[in-house]
Amino acid sequence: MAKIIAVCKSDNKGCKKQASEEGTLEKNYGLIGDAHADFNSHRQLSLLAIESIRKIRQLGADVHPGDFAENLTTKGIELHTLPIGTRLRIGDDIELELTQIGKECHDRCAIFKQVGTCVMPLEGIFTRVISGGVVKVGDKITKI
């Protein structure tokens, strides 16, 4: 079963996010209290799998959920293999629509400088929040 293992947010853009146990997703906005949340953006929420984070750990970096500035860290679902337009359900109420896979990395982040690569530009995904609610660590995430 695929699930949420961290909910991460930060007050400022361009920095690591702090992992917590839960957060509130607002329809067509993103994670309340996160600097990247934005009405009508196609990148309201970012997700990255712990399996992707482990690839960087194997290269020697001490990285954790939130270090790649992702909002939700997942386990058990290959996010970057899903097609654009895929709908994801978290728990009973939250629905997301995948809008972008990866991103352009304009300035090499500290992780890239340390190990020579970064997974967020290749394996992170971005979504719009179709229906919001409270997201918690342990919530099930499924394709719909």
Tell me the residue type at 103.
K
Band the pLDDT of 120: cuts 50, 70, 90: low
How large is the average pLDDT for residues 30-54? 93
pLDDT at 108 over 90: no
Q: Where are the domains of the chain?
A: 3-143
Residue 132 is predicted with a pLDDT of 98
Mean pLDDT of the chain: 88
Q: What whole-number distance in Å separates Cα of residue 56 and Cα of residue 71? A: 18
Residue 135 is predicted with a pLDDT of 98
Q: Model confidence over 45-56: pLDDT tens digits?
A: 999 999 998 988
In Å, what is the CA distance from 139 to each residue of 81, 90, 108, 117, 121? 21, 6, 32, 30, 25
CB-count exposure of residue 98 (10 Å: 0-12, 13-18, 19+): buried
How large is the average pLDDT for residues 15-30? 94
Q: Give this prediction's pTM.
A: 0.90
pLDDT at 119 over 90: no
Query: Among 57, 66, 53, 72, which residue's Cα sits nearest to residue 2?
Result: 72
Q: Which CATH architecture best describes the domain 3-143?
A: Beta Barrel (2.40)
Residue 136 is predicted with a pLDDT of 98
Instruction: DSSP for the chain, please give it.
Output: --EEEEEEE-SSTTS--EEESEEEEETTTEETT-TT--TT-S-SEEEEEHHHHHHHHTTT----TTTT--SEEEES--GGGSPTT-EEEETTTEEEEEEEES---SS--HHHHHHS--SHHHH-EEEEEEE-EEEETT-BEEE-
pLDDT at 93 over 60: yes
